[in-house]
Structure 1
């Protein structure tokens, strides 16, 4: 594994690559992120395509990512993370809706737990999940980062208590 830092409007993102695949995107202060020493050697640009595509996303010129991914997790977590990729740019879904979409309608809490362990922030768009009322819930980068990303995308549910439209 190797890693590098990429600038973002919310501070430097840590990009982790393993054999040319994106393994993680961590925020500054990312809850649950491993120590930098566990991310392999720090290099100038661990995955140039990821650095470029994230910059384009923040500039508002990219709505979808086209990167080889290597998200490490349990089979259930990977199922949830794959389903997250189906929530389009500027859209939101609830944890319950995602649980139903993967065939586990009673598993909203388990979906929330899996989402909280998503190692590839932004690219696997866990920021697009909201509470049943449309409220913003926890986010590894912090609720303010989540709010920023949803506003960047023009999503409707961007403030706590805002009903989903």
Structure 2
């Protein structure tokens, strides 16, 4: 199971919105899949990110964007067993976590699946659980491939249209 953004927040034990920023204010019980608590507060975080993965393969460079309302923290950081059962997903520990079995994943990083090697490593983990062979992880990032395709389409259109009246 993987939750991104609000899905990550819902995977926790508690969601609190004391000021009613996202709707009716109050405290709400989460799915209790991760030992986190989120408090909805301002200002909204919205920024491009470059991080390094800890899971499913350590050391993969990851690009994406972080956009969310609220701050998420471990509920009981002093309990030693929490640190053995849950690990940070990236070198920036505020962006997400994964359980020890790598069956529950949560992150604030949007666009994570655009990162080809990370996506393939994540899918290979699922393949291994099903007894299937792993696929190669040395693949391109989708975002980069998409930009090349869009540039090619734009070049082809520009070659067949007179755009001067639109551009000047």
Is TM (by shorter chain) over 0.5?
Answer: no
Kindly name which structure, 1 or 2, has the bigger radius of gyration based on alpha carbons. Answer: 2
Comparing both chains, which one has the higher relative contact order based on Cα–Cα distances under 8 Å and sequence gaps of 6 or more? 1
TM-score, structure 2 normalization: 0.30
Higher strand proportion (structure 1 or 2):
2
Q: TM-score, normalised by structure 1?
A: 0.30
